[in-house]
């Protein structure tokens, strides 16, 4: 079980503390929703969580199967909808470093790991996830 304590600090801003590590995270309302946009918004964190989770689970698979993912990056784009205001699509582009010649089997393992990470499995099926793998 993980516990996170969050406080509203005013001006549409929150501060969350990860109780186990003491690590702090500040959120701000985005510019298009009355905020200053000076920090990640909560919906930015949702999208970021998906990309980070994909990289983490891909990394676990890479360790288990003996290949390297170091230097792999994820670009995340969050698309908001209205009525109700919510995230309607998250676009994920995964870029692998040059020189890594993954086999077809390794690519299948990588892509399966990414698509079945815990965050992806936790998101509502109506939320569109567009994933591009650039090997």
* Tens-place pLDDT, residues 20-79: 999 999 999 999 999 999 999 999 999 999 999 999 999 999 999 998 899 999 999 999
- The reported pLDDT for the residue numbered 44 is 97
Cα–Cα distance for residue pair 61/68, rounded to 1 Å: 10
- 113 confidence band (pLDDT: 50, 70, 90): very high
Sheet holding 13-18, edge to edge: 4-10, 13-18, 24-28
Cα–Cα distance for residue pair 86/2, rounded to 1 Å: 25
Task: Give the N- to C-terminal CA distance of the chain in Å, as an integer.
Answer: 36
Share of the chain above pLDDT 90, in %: 96
- The reported pLDDT for the residue numbered 100 is 86
């Amino acid at each position: 079980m993980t516990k996170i304590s969050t406080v509203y600090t005013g001006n549409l801003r929150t501060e969350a503390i990860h109780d186990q590590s003491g690590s702090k995270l500040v959120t701000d309302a985005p510019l298009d929703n009355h905020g200053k946009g000076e920090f990640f918004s909560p919906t930015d964190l949702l999208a970021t969580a998906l990309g980070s989770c994909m990289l983490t689970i891909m990394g676990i698979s890479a360790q288990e199967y003996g290949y390297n993912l170091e230097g792999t990056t994820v670009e995340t784009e969050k698309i908001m909808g209205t009525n109700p205001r919510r995230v309607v699509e998250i676009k994920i582009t995964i870029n692998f470093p040059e020189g890594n010649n993954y086999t077809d089997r390794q690519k299948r393992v990588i892509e399966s790991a990414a698509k079945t990470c815990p965050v992806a499995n936790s998101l509502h099926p109506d939320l569109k996830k567009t994933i591009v793998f650039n090997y």
